[in-house]
Amino acid sequence: MQKRDYVMAARPDARRKPDEGIWETVKVIIQALLIAFFVRTFLYQPFNIPSGSMYPTLKVGDYLFVSKLSYGYGKYSFNFSLGAFGHEVKCCSFIDFPGRIIFQSTPKRGDIAVFKKPSDTDVDYIKRVIGLPGDHIQMRDGVIFLNGVAVKKERIQDYVNPDPESEPYNTPTGSPVPQFMETLPEGVQYRVLDFRPDGALDNTPEFVVPPAHYFMMGDNRDNSSDSRDPYGGVGYVPIENFVGRADIIFFSISPEARLWEVWMWPFEIRWSRFFNIL
């Protein structure tokens, strides 16, 4: 009798062990999701390149980490959307005032930054910071004049686009495109494409950047809607519209590839672009 009572008393414990294992797994998943949410909200936001405006520095199919701490938190720092089953839920920031808060730092000339388009804050743009508040900027024959001084622009080896489905400059695939090395006054160097000697935005009036605003340009000069075009482009970008600074490429895949076709990854992934610092 005592032996049977002992066995029956042990059975509830035996049943509880699998339940405890499931609950431990659920807790680990919840903790992982909370950590990911914290990192996504406050530290680093993933961003993918949808257009060719930043060629050759950034390509369609690149995935970046954007540092939110770089410029502090602002009005649009916590805006993001969640999509599932064909529906999208937008999560909006609880901050609604100009400027930045917490760890405030200003964008530096040469930074690649993600920001909200001033005329449509549902749209994210990524460009290079060229003009700071108070700067005088003008394009003359494709050369940037910054406060009256020409930015150094040297012709280097032509660029040949290897991705036929991401042609960024309306030229036949494989055709060489004039490529230049630009050097900003602070010493930041980067490559630009400029294949039209008389592009629509190669000659502009002089722009004077307002206080707390920035002048943004794409590296693919003839295929970038940016601050050079105050009407169809982005105009001057206020500091509160900045989301963060693009720091590193963590993944890159050919634009014609589908992410769910895992079996094609070895052939479509651009392995050489992984962990490229920007």
Written as six digits, the tokens of 258 are: 């589908």
Q: Are residues 182 and 91 in the same domain?
A: yes
Q: Are residues 38 and 54 in the same domain?
A: no
**SS3 of 68, please?**
coil
Which DSSP string do the residues of 158-227 spell out, in sequence order? EEE---GGG--SSS-TT-EEEEEEEE-TT--EEEEE---TT-TTSS---EEPPTTEEEEE-SBGGG--ST
Percent of the chain at pLDDT > 70 equals 71
Question: Can you say whether the dihedral through the CA atoms of 44, 40, 98, 145 is positive or negative?
Answer: positive
Mean pLDDT score, 182-188: 95
Paired with 73 in beta bridges are: 101
- The one-letter code for the residue type at 227 is S
Number of domains the chain contains: 2
Catalytic residue (choose from 77, 127, 224, 227) = 127
Q: Are residues 181 and 77 in the same domain?
A: yes
Q: Are residues 140 and 201 in the same domain?
A: yes
Long-range contacts of 159-167 (CB under 8 A, 24+ apart): 159/55, 159/56, 159/191, 159/193, 161/55, 163/59, 163/60, 163/61, 163/254, 163/255, 165/254, 165/255, 165/256, 166/52, 166/59, 166/60, 166/61, 166/254, 166/255, 167/52
Q: How far apart are CA 42 and CA 80, in angstroms?
A: 12
Q: Are residues 133 and 117 in the same domain?
A: yes
Q: Are residues 38 and 57 in the same domain?
A: no
Residue 127 known to be catalytic: yes
Place 160 in a pLDDT band, splitting at 50, 70 and 90. Answer: confident
Q: Are residues 11 and 78 in the same domain?
A: no
- Tens of pLDDT, residues 125-152: 999 999 999 999 999 999 999 999 999 9
Pick the closest to residue 278 from 63, 41, 90, 12 (CA basis).
Answer: 63
Least confident range from 8-17, 82-91, 205-214: namely 82-91
Least confident range from 22-26, 53-57, 101-105: namely 101-105
Tell whether the model's pLDDT for residue 88 goes beyond 50.
Answer: no
**pLDDT, greater one: 207 or 90:** 207
Give Cα 134 distance to the centre of its chain.
Answer: 26
Do the Cβ atoms of 171 and 234 come closer than 8 Å?
A: no
Q: Are residues 237 and 153 in the same domain?
A: yes
Instruction: Provide Rg for the chain, Cα atoms.
Output: 25
Q: Are residues 169 and 250 in the same domain?
A: yes
Residue 37: the pLDDT is 64
Do the Cβ atoms of 245 and 111 come closer than 8 Å?
A: yes
**pLDDT, greater one: 188 or 233:** 188
Least confident range from 19-23, 218-222, 224-228: namely 19-23
Q: Are residues 29 and 78 in the same domain?
A: no
The domain that holds 115 is classified in CATH as 2.10.109.10
What range defines the domain where residue 31 resides? 1-42
Give Cα 191 distance to the centre of its chain.
Answer: 18
Output phi, psi for 201, to 5 deg: -110, 15
Catalytic residue (choose from 53, 224, 252, 254) = 53
Global pTM value: 0.77
Residue 225 known to be catalytic: no
Do the Cβ atoms of 214 and 236 come closer than 8 Å?
A: yes
Q: Are residues 30 and 71 in the same domain?
A: no
Written as six digits, the tokens of 224 are: 């970038």
Q: Are residues 232 and 120 in the same domain?
A: yes
